[in-house]
Homo-oligomer: A and B are copies of this chain.
Amino acid sequence: MKAMVLHERGRAGVALREMPAPDCPPGWARVRMVAASVNRVDLYMRDSGAGITHDLPLIMGVDGVGEVIDAPGQPHLAPGDKVILYPYEFCGHCRACLAGDQPLCHSARILGEHRHGTFAEEVALPARALVKLAPEADMERAAVLGVAYLTAWRMVFGKAPVGPGSVVMIQGAGGGVSYAAVQLARMAGARVIATTSGADKLAHFRARGIEVIDYRSEDVPKTVLRLTGGEGADLVVDNVGEATWGASLRSVARGGHLVTCGATTGAHPSADIQRLFVRQISIHGSTMGSMDEFRRLIRAWEAGGFTPLIDRAFSLAEVPEAFAHLEDPARMGKILIRIS
């Protein structure tokens, strides 16, 4: 089968190759991939991969959707069923798995990181890591839910749940995960304040009724305080890291929360312990979401709660171009890979 493979580190190491179709042990299912999405971690794998146990060549791609080819002994999965792939091959019997917290599985293998991924014509996974979609599901929208929207779901609902009456401030709101957080928080009835830059992005948010701060020209914490009558945000979502951490902490309301799933600009700002205890602030690290959160996300999407934003679509052979597009600061929302 054809697959987009990382055969050596760096941009030149990503190429479409013929690869053997995957094995399908008992309890597993084979899926004919329909579409996948590009995630920031793909660039990390391409350029470094440090700290992640894996071998090259590696089929890339963390999330996606497809149709069941076969699922021997799994009566709830029939050939042709539309399915979405949970991005972790989790063990199902460790303490974390038995507690329903699959992202903390002691032996989780992430697709496209520790094992072959979704940029391929076929993928095999334990049947328990597949969630069935409705026959009428829009597969291209579904293809981008697995990482960005699931990660945003846990950030917005899993640590310090937001809802009507909450104020959520989201840093760098044009990115895939951050944009998803904006949509999920709005769907839940929260008031959202987004920071971004560039006239197009500012206009995009304003057109959707979202308050927006241009972080290049405005003082973010001062503006958040002004917009909230001096209180600050109940929840701040910050995946930017060092460049924004201090401003994020100064934007949180007393008794409020800051949640992070990434630190692209650096991971070592000051912890500012005194601010934390004087103002009773909580900080939460978050990664992915559980199978239960995945089902809730899919259910909310199927009910029409939100429509994933797709910036642009590429073919499987164009993954290198899709990676380049991911690094374009003007991009907004998710990048799709069409496979079949």
Contact = CB atoms under 8 A, between A and B. Distances in A.
Nearest to A258: B283
Contacts of A271: 245, 267-272, 283
Contact of A280 (B100, B274, B282, B286): B286
Contacts of A270: 267-271
A163 B163 contact: yes
Given A164-B184, A262-B277, A278-B287, 9 more contacts: A92-B92, A161-B161, A189-B300, A191-B299, A267-B273, A269-B271, A270-B271, A271-B283, A276-B283
Contact of A261 (B241, B277, B286): B277
A295 interface: yes
Contacts of A300: 164-165, 189
A285 B291 contact: no
Nearest to A157: B163
Given A164-B188, A292-B98, A305-B189, A274 B279 contact: no
A303 B255 CA distance: 22
B282 A284 contact: yes
Nearest to A155: B277
Interface residues of A, number: 65
B276 A285 contact: yes
A291 B100 CA distance: 10
Identical chains bound together, number: 4
A127 interface: yes
26 contacts: A26-B26, A92-B93, A93-B127, A95-B295, A98-B291, A98-B292, A98-B295, A99-B290, A99-B292, A157-B163, A161-B161, A164-B184, A189-B305, A191-B299, A242-B273, A245-B271, A260-B276, A267-B271, A268-B271, A268-B272, A268-B273, A270-B271, A276-B284, A277-B285, A278-B287, A280-B286
A226 interface: no
Interface in A292-306: 292, 295-297, 299-300, 303, 305
Interface string A99-138: 1111110000000000000000000000110000000000
B280 A104 contact: yes
Contacts of A101: 100, 255
Contacts of A274: 263, 267
A328 B271 CA distance: 28
Residue from A26, A277, A283, A284 with most neighbouring chain B CB atoms (10 Å): A277
A128 B299 CA distance: 29
A181 B275 CA distance: 21
Contacts of A261: 277
B272 A267 contact: yes
Contacts of A273: 241-242, 245, 260, 263, 267-269, 285
Contacts of A95: 292, 295
A331 interface: no
A165 B299 contact: yes
A187 interface: yes
Contacts of A102: 98
